[in-house]
Amino acid sequence: MIIDTHIHLDDRRYDDDLDEVLSRARKSGVQRFVIPGADPKTLDKAVLIAENNSDVFFAVGVHPYDMENFEEFDFEKYISHEKCVAIGECGLDYYRLEGSDEEKDLEKKRQKEVFAVQIELAKKYKKPLIIHIRDASRDSKELLLKHNAGEVGGVLHCYNADEELLSLANEGFYFGIGGVLTFKNAKKLLHVLPKIPQDKLLIETDGPYLTPSPHRGERNEPGYTVFVAQKMSELLEIKLDDIKKITTQNATKLFHIS
């Protein structure tokens, strides 16, 4: 079986055929799904999907692009829910920074503050982190170590192939591998993948984004994790069934999903 550890089933692009998407995924061998919390405005929708499907779980968090409602967001309302398995998607993303150097520095400072609060919440409630990092590897690593985030561990979602982050495997962090692995221009990830400890590998889609080959250009969906698993099997020279077994055991251990 496969566990899709990062799938935005609450995205509006699944509104019309969510049941069919889940059915196709289950037939492909995907038996667990984790919806990351990114935007507080859609979290209630994610909770409802999890409540209506025994194999769907969710996380509670605020993405660095969705910080405007952070102060009013009631984390505790969701953390105690029996289907809540993690804190996130949270982290740092410097890719879209705009304005003067001073304005960029202020934005970075704000992102760090919001990320730090969520790390502390994860430690308080003993939940792993789902971490988003884009163009911010060094600051992200420093913040995780400074706040002893290894106490709860987590996953570097859509791992960006930065070798500087590989040492976080020793701190209890996992590496989420998705459709990018199948892209022709993913040379850096192809090079780094064998360096990731096998007991720290996870499979994800990040659907509806980052659709793997041979379906690039289409909406991504959890059933396409099979293409990621196949590519991982090919690159690591490990049997496909063993890749599925390894990554499922890893996800089960991290998220405490039975």
Residue 38 CB neighbours (<10 A): 25
The beta strand positions in the chain, using DSSP E, are 2-4, 30-35, 56-60, 84-93, 129-134, 154-157, 173-177, 201-203
pLDDT tens-digit map of 15-56: 999 999 999 999 999 999 999 997 888 899 999 999 999 999
How far is residue 119 from each of residues 88, 124, 129, 177, measured CA to CA in Å? 9, 9, 7, 22
Question: How big is the chain, counted in residues?
Answer: 258
Residue 239: the pLDDT is 98
Q: What is the mean pLDDT of residues 109-115?
A: 96
Question: Total structural domains in the chain?
Answer: 1
CATH of the domain at 61: 3.20.20.140
**At residue 39, what is the residue type?**
D
pTM of the predicted model, to two decimals? 0.96
Q: What is the mean pLDDT of residues 232-252?
A: 98
pLDDT tens-digit map of 90-105: 999 999 899 999 999 9
Token match 């192809």: residue?
A: 190
Cβ pair 141, 147 in contact under 8 A = no
Q: What is the mean pLDDT of residues 144-164?
A: 97
Instruction: Reduce the DSSP state of residue 76 to 3 states and report it.
Output: helix
Residue 42: the pLDDT is 86
Indicate the average pLDDT of the chain. 96
Q: What is the mean pLDDT of residues 98-119?
A: 94
Residue 69: is its pLDDT beyond 80?
A: no
Q: The domain containing residue 146 runs over which residues?
A: 2-255
d(CA 164, CA 56): 33
Considering all CA atoms of the chain, what is the largest pairwise distance in Å, rounded to the nearest integer? 52
Helices (H) and strands (E) in the chain, counts: 8, 8
